[in-house]
Amino acid sequence: MSVNRRNFLKIAGSSAIILPATACSTGADSARLPWRATDSYSDPMRRSLSYALLAPNPHNKQPWVVELTSETQATLMCDLDRLLPETDPYSRQITIGLGCFLEQFRIAAQEFGFKADITAFPDGYDDKKLDARPVAHLRLSPLEQAIPSPYFAHILNRRTNRTLYTEQVPSSQTLEAITHDLGEGILAGFTNAPEPVARLQDITVIASNIEFDTPRTYMESVDVMRIGARENNETPDGIALEGPMKEALHRLGFLTRKNLADMDSAMFRTGREDYARGIKSAHGFVWVNTPANTRLDQIKAGAAYLRLNLNATAHGLAMHPLSQALQEYVEMQEALGLIHHLLDIEDGARIQMFARIGYAKPVVPAPRWPLEAKLIQA
Ligand SMILES: Cc1cc2nc3c(=O)[nH]c(=O)nc-3n(C[C@H](O)[C@H](O)[C@H](O)COP(=O)(O)O)c2cc1C
């Protein structure tokens, strides 16, 4: 039986083609090498950094650069060519990702018997714009006794899972346990109650559609989509579109960057609808707030989000950050105010991370650049 173009798109559309790689599609293997290379480093700095670079970060831009001073000292910088000026105009999310990186570094160092002293923004910062000043100085000193971290065991299994979640509702007890005690000054929240979940789904879908329908913000995602194993191996960052179905669509010329960029195309519509379907499958949401919104708050929010994501992993829960309603560009202003109002956030406080949480099939790890690509020698 032959499959004509229209039917083929229908079949493809019904199988969530735009959602990134699932567990059965491990195509781009060298892109995942850093997930298996963590223990190939003998000095404590490189070894801890090899875990840090597996941290969650917006659009998987991996904006970190580390200048090594010695086997125990280094400086973390932000690669200013890896910002997201349209969806993240003040680099708030990029800074949160750097906070995730620093916390994963600290957890790994502790596991290997080192205390990590992290001085964030030692030369100061600009709240509106990240600049060439260091993000953090890192210094390791041996602990008298290793203090194993409860988080460490979950680093290699942590994922962002964008697939559909099952009907199983995460329990209040579990959500309470994983959002508890995420760091000083951090206020985390959750809901699994049908009515607030429905309202949060609605505002999140509206916000997601605003990002999809605004060409300059949508294109920021298209620019980082890596289609097929070859592209992911060559450029192991951004959002991976892989798996047998996507490879086939790509070979046949349906799944291309040009089609994805065409806002009248079936590919665009499918991507937009799939994202909304993912949101609508959620039976729980979690969020991380800070009392203010300085760079230091954002770094702390990253640490808190990382711990939350690792806690969720430990409990067998999947998570998917949904940042659209939290973004600062003009088209999103109303949604940003609305979500703060819905979650009853005090004046001046800021929701830094908002994510759906639930049960889902596992997904493969996201690509990463190897550590060597991110190091510079002082
Ligand atoms: C600050 C921040 C914001 C994020 N926002 C989104 C988002 O809105 N949508 C999404 O699909 N993923 C979002 N993510 C998840 C990243 O895309 C993900 O961490 C990255 O692709 C690497 O994948 P991994 O977490 O599986 O290692 C966000 C992550 C961070 C740290």
- The amino acid present at 74, given as its one-letter code, is A
Q: Which atom of ligand 1 is nearest to the CA of 160?
A: 26
| pLDDT in 10s for each residue of the chain, 378 residues | 333 333 333 333 333 334 555 444 444 589 999 999 998 999 999 999 999 999 999 999 999 999 999 999 999 999 999 999 999 999 999 999 999 999 999 999 999 999 999 999 999 999 999 999 999 999 999 999 878 899 999 999 999 999 999 999 999 999 999 999 999 999 999 999 999 999 999 999 999 999 999 999 999 999 999 999 999 999 999 999 998 989 999 999 999 999 999 999 999 999 999 999 999 999 999 999 999 999 999 999 999 999 999 999 999 999 999 999 999 999 999 999 999 999 999 999 999 999 999 999 999 999 999 999 999 988
Taking the centre of ligand 1 as the mean of its atom positions, its distance from the CA of residue 228, in whole angstroms, is 19
Q: What's the pLDDT at 366?
A: 98
Residues 178-230: tens digit of each pLDDT: 999 999 999 999 999 999 999 999 999 999 999 999 999 999 999 999 999 99
What is d(CA 369, CA 253) in angstroms, rounded to the nearest whole number? 27
Q: How far apart are the first and last CA of the chain?
A: 63
Q: What's the pLDDT at 16?
A: 33
Q: What's the pLDDT at 315?
A: 98
Instruction: List, chain by chain if needed, residues with CB within 6 Å of any ligand 1 atom.
Output: 56-60, 93, 96-97, 100, 159-160, 162, 320-324, 366
Q: Give the Cα-Cα-Cα angle 310, 283, 35 (nearest 5 degrees).
A: 25
Q: Which of 122, 121, 133, 134 is nearest to 294 (CA)?
A: 121
Which secondary structure element, helix H or strand E, spans residue 337, and what is its range? helix 333-342
Residues 302-345: tens digit of each pLDDT: 999 999 999 999 999 999 999 999 999 999 999 999 999 999 99
What is d(CA 291, CA 185) in angstroms, rounded to the nearest whole number? 7
Q: What's the pLDDT at 19?
A: 52
Q: Which atom of ligand 1 is nearest to the CA of 96?
A: 1
Taking the centre of ligand 1 as the mean of its atom positions, its distance from the CA of residue 4, in whole angstroms, is 36
Instruction: Please name each of the domains of the chain with its CATH number.
Output: 30-156+365-377 (3.40.109.30)
Lay out the sheet containing 64-68: strands in order across: 114-120, 136-142, 73-78, 64-68, 375-377
**In this structure, which residue's CA is closest to atom 3 in ligand 1?**
58
Residues 56-67: tens digit of each pLDDT: 999 999 999 999
Of 19, 53, 160, the one to substitute when testing ligand 1's pocket (max ligand atoms within 8 A of C-beta) is: 160
Instruction: Please give, one letter per residue, the 3-state secondary structure of 22-74.
Output: CCCCCCCCHHHHHHCCHHHCCCHHHHHHHHHCCCCCHHHCCCEEEEECCCCEE
